[in-house]
Each structure stands twice: as C-alpha cells, then as structure tokens.
Amino acid sequence: MGEPSRSLHSISAFFPACNDAENLRLLIPQALETLKALAEEFEIIVVDDGSTDHTTEVLDSLQQEIPCLRVVRHPRNLGYGAALQSGFRSATKDLVFYTDGDGQYDVQELSALFAGLSPGQDVVNGYKIHRADSVGRTIVGKAYSVLVRTLFRLRLRDVDCDFRLLRRKVIESVSLTCRSGAICVELMAQVERAGFQVAEVPVHHHPRLTGRSQFFRLGPVVRTLRDVLHLWIRLVLLKRRPTLQAAGPNKVMSPEVPRPGTQIQD
C-alpha cells in the first residue's frame, strides 16, 4: 500500500498521559512521521496529568527536537476525563485526533481513520480487533462495554476504544463534565444523540511496553462507575439533553479543567 496523499485539512493530535515517559519517547516521533504523511498543517499535544515519573524530562527533551509539540501540564492528577477535556480545549486545528499516551494503540493507524473520514462523516472511531490485555482486564472491559451500550442505547460497538478522529464542529458542540473514564460514554452519547455521523474502522491493540495502567485500579474504576450512573440518570432516566451548540472550545468543557497554558493549583 502506498503512502496516503496529504490532505488540505489541518490536524491536532493529542495524547493524555500519566507516568508514560518511556512510551511517549517512542510515541511522539511516530506521531510526527504519521502526521507529516497526512496533512500539511498539524500540531502534537501531550496532556501530562500529574505524572510523577520522568515524563517532564522526556517531554522537555522531545520539545527541543519537535517544535510542533506542545505540553499541557496538570500539577496534580485530575483524572482521565480531565486530561481529555484539556486536550480538546487545547486543540486548534480542523480535525482532532486523540489516543492514549501508553502506546497500546499504533498511532500509524491514524491513516486508517483518516481514510474513513468521508465528506459525510463527522467522527471516525476505532474498534479493537483483539484486546491485548490480561484475561481479567479483557473480561472487565467487555462487561463494561456491554453495560454502557445497553444503558445508553449506543450504536457504537467499542465505546472504550480511545482511538478517535473528530471534526472540530463536533468538539465545539458537546458539553463534557466527567473527569473519569466515563467521559468516553459522555462524549459518544452526545455525539449519537446530536445526529453526527460516525464511521468505525478496526484497529490493533498492543500490550503496554512500560508502566502500569492508571485506570485498572480501585479508585478510578469506582469513580468511572459512579459517573456512568450519574450520566445515565441525567441523560436517560431524566432525559436531560445537554445544550448542543457551537459555543466555541473554551465554553463547552468543565470550568474546573485548566485552559491552555494554565494550571490548577491546590
């Protein structure tokens, strides 16, 4: 297969990360090469959600080599949802792509999402061909997927696949409040209810090379399930619909999440 032709679109690619120093050392250069093949104009953003390893040093070094790399730092861990909100708010280009900073998805497969973005599509979402996690995590992940798809009547087959390409109008039309992993449900439930067109493409999922998952711990799991329950009550049981309008990227996110270039202080 030849290299894809470069598009007139501009792309923001961002990566939420927490204690992913060595993964980012590999991921960011791969992202750079992938974006060069896809668009004339692009930016790379890492949202460092309160890392306590040497992520800061790695990112500082990468910024010396990659001028289009920007870093948004949370001075303390605010949660996966807060990291996504910061990434969406910081993105400035026509298209917005994100995936996790742990390297379990191959950023080079962004080209597959890009190929799926026909003029009539607003979002292209990956779905895992095979989950490269332990048996226990795979079972929990499948159970969670079935649960949220049933509760929210989602058509999307893999809401937990954080490998997404979205048009800017989608980002500017949703209201995101969750700080936990439930933000993916919050995002895609609003996307489907607003009538945006979603395409799905298969992507590979790889074992984590270094570090440990920040999600599969008791605290984050409990917070995610709690937020899923709150979302279900608000969006399904009470049938409250968020105000979906092009309000601009600085108005649709939780006010507690830092704006680009700012930090939350205790």
The CATH architecture of the domain made up of 10-237 is Alpha-Beta Complex (3.90)
Top-confidence residue, 1 or 26: 26
Higher pLDDT, 134 or 195: 195
Residue 152 confidence (pLDDT): 95
What are 173's two structure tokens? 């039309």
Matching residue, tokens 């489907």: 192
pTM across the whole model: 0.85
Q: pLDDT value at position 257? A: 52
Instruction: Report pLDDT digits (tens) over 142-173.
Output: 888 899 999 999 999 999 899 999 999 999 99
CA separation for the pair 225, 233 (Å, rounded): 12
Percent of the chain scored above 90 by pLDDT?
70
pLDDT band at 127 (very low <50, low <70, confident <90, very high): very high
The pLDDT score that the predictor gives to residue 3 is 47
pLDDT in tens, 228-250: 999 999 988 887 655 444 344 44
Amino acid at 71: V
Out of 8-17, 134-143, 181-190, pick the least confident: 134-143
Residues with Cβ within 8 Å of 53's Cβ and at least 6 positions away in sequence, in order, are 19, 21, 211
Of the candidates 68, 129, 139, which has an alpha carbon nearest to the alpha carbon of residue 104?
129
Give per-residue burial for 82-120: e unless 16+ CB within 10 Å, then b: bbbbbbbbbbebbbbbbbbbbbbbbbebbbbbbebbeee
What torsion do the CA atoms of 95, 96, 102, 106 make, to the nearest 10 degrees? Answer: -20
Confidence of residue 49 (pLDDT cuts 50, 70, 90): very high
Q: How far is residue 130 from each of residues 97, 126, 135, 142, 202, measured CA to CA in Å?
A: 21, 12, 12, 11, 9
Torsions phi, psi for 74 (to 5 deg) = -95, 125
As a whole number, mean pLDDT of residues 9-29 equals 96
Q: Which of 25-39, 47-61, 215-229 has the lowest mean pLDDT?
A: 215-229
The partner residues of 195 in beta bridges, in order of sequence, read: none
Q: How many CB atoms lie within 10 A of CB 5?
A: 7
Q: What six digits make up the tokens of 258? A: 């830092």
pLDDT at 133: 66
Contacts of 143 (CB under 8 A, 6+ apart): none
Q: How many CB atoms lie within 10 A of CB 147?
A: 14
pLDDT recorded at residue 249:
42
Tokens standing for residue 51: 């890392």
| Per-residue pLDDT tens over the stretch 60-82 | 999 999 999 999 999 999 999 99
Cα gap 57→55, rounded to integer Å:
5
**Domains in the chain: boundaries:** 10-237
